[in-house]
Amino acid sequence: MSGLKPLIAGNWKMHGRRANLEEIPALIRETGAALSRVEVVVCPPAPYIEAARAHIGGAAIAVGGQDCSPVSADAARTGEVSAGMLRDAGASFVIVGHSERRSLLGETDDLVRQKANAANAAGLAPIVCVGETQAQRADGKAAEVVAAQVAASTPDDPAGLVVAYEPVWAIGGDRTPTAEEIAEIHGVVRAELSRRYGKAGEAVRILYGGSVNAKNAKEILAIDGVDGALVGRACLKAADFSAIVLAAPGAR
Ligand code: PGA
């Protein structure tokens, strides 16, 4: 870990219903005082953002969206949700460029950067996701691919920016990279952020994502250059997600 405050973000993806928001009070109970030492963000599907905020009440948990439109102004964009609307509903973060959107919906680095810029314009902190595929890693191109994604999909202004390194092959399965592989790519991301933003790049938190769970979180979060985690499946149950929050360095 660097000196940055750890950030643990939970990405519900397209899982759950309103009833699942009951996990939030449990998360607050189970994490307790750690919420002052670790920043925690829950990213439910857009229709539940406002209700998530209500369940959080005065606790120090932030809410994030999972995507936003690249268009900031109100416009004829059926089905799109703007960053300003997410903010209005109570979000303060938004995930952009998740690999599921890049691969299933063809989102490009350029589109992701526009979304990150729209997030900034609305006062949301973008969590920009990057990561190589299995084939790219096998070709020895992981570092090159990730550096290029960071260069092309991060916003013009680094204010509030978070980057999540999520190797595509580690998401949704049971494989994670070795500690050395994670440290190496986090170093690549940090170098690219410094190149792009100068000193301001040092304040950008770099999360690891991809099969983080209650068992492996402590080891992953202790890796040099890892400033937190972006968690998928293991964020859906308060017991697992709180264990990950409590595994962050300095949480207890
Ligand atoms: P996972 O998903 O933790 O279920 O592997 C992580 C992500 O896609 O953000």
Confidence of residue 21 (pLDDT cuts 50, 70, 90): very high
Across residues 125-149, what is the average pLDDT?
98
pLDDT digits 0-9 by tens, 76-118: 999 999 999 999 999 999 999 999 999 999 999 999 999 999 9
Our answer on whether the CB atom of 84 is closer than 6 Å to any ligand 1 atom is no
Name the residue type at position 191. Answer: A
Confidence of residue 2 (pLDDT cuts 50, 70, 90): low
SS3 content of the chain, % helix, strand, coil (to 5): 45, 15, 40
Confidence of residue 3 (pLDDT cuts 50, 70, 90): confident
Asked if residue 126 lies in contact with residue 92, where contact means CB atoms within 8 angstroms, the answer is no
In terms of phi and psi (left: phi > 0; alpha: psi -120 to 50; beta: otherwise), the region of 243 is: alpha
Closest CA to 98 of 8, 183, 14: 14
Closest CA to 160 of 70, 94, 211, 210: 94
Ligand 1 atom 9: the closest Cα is on which residue? 232
pLDDT digits 0-9 by tens, 22-40: 999 999 999 999 999 999 9
Residues carrying an active site annotation: 98, 166
Tokens 């410094």 correspond to what residue?
Answer: 194
pLDDT digits 0-9 by tens, 180-235: 999 999 999 999 999 999 999 999 999 999 999 999 999 999 999 999 999 999 99
Inter-CA distances, 187 with 137, 146, 182, 246, Å: 16, 11, 9, 25
The predicted model scores a pTM of 0.98
pLDDT of res. 1:
45
Asked if residue 172 lies in contact with residue 232, where contact means CB atoms within 8 angstroms, the answer is yes
The 3-state DSSP class for residue 112 equals helix
Distance 249 CA to ligand 1 centre (A): 21
Ligand 1 atom 6: the closest Cα is on which residue? 232
Closest CA to 50 of 18, 97, 83, 95: 18
Compute CA 191 distance to the chain's CA centroid, rounded to the nearest angstrom.
19
Distance 170 CA to ligand 1 centre (A): 8
Q: Is the pLDDT of residue 47 over 70?
A: yes
Q: To 5 degrees, how large is the angle CA 8–CA 246–CA 251?
A: 90
Is 133 exposed, middle or buried (CB count within 10 Å of its CB: 0-12, 13-18, 19+)? middle
Complete domains list, the chain, with CATH = 7-247 (3.20.20.70)
Across residues 153-163, what is the average pLDDT?
98
Which strand (E) or helix (H) includes residue 127? strand 125-130
Closest CA to 211 of 228, 180, 182, 234: 234
pLDDT digits 0-9 by tens, 163-177: 999 999 999 999 999
Pocket test for ligand 1, best of 67, 133, 212 (most atoms within 8 A of CB): 212
Q: Is the pLDDT of residue 127 over 90?
A: yes
Q: How far apart are alpha carbons 109 and 179 in whole angstroms?
A: 27
Our answer on whether the CB atom of 230 is closer than 6 Å to any ligand 1 atom is yes
Q: How far apart are alpha carbons 44 and 55 in whole angstroms?
A: 12
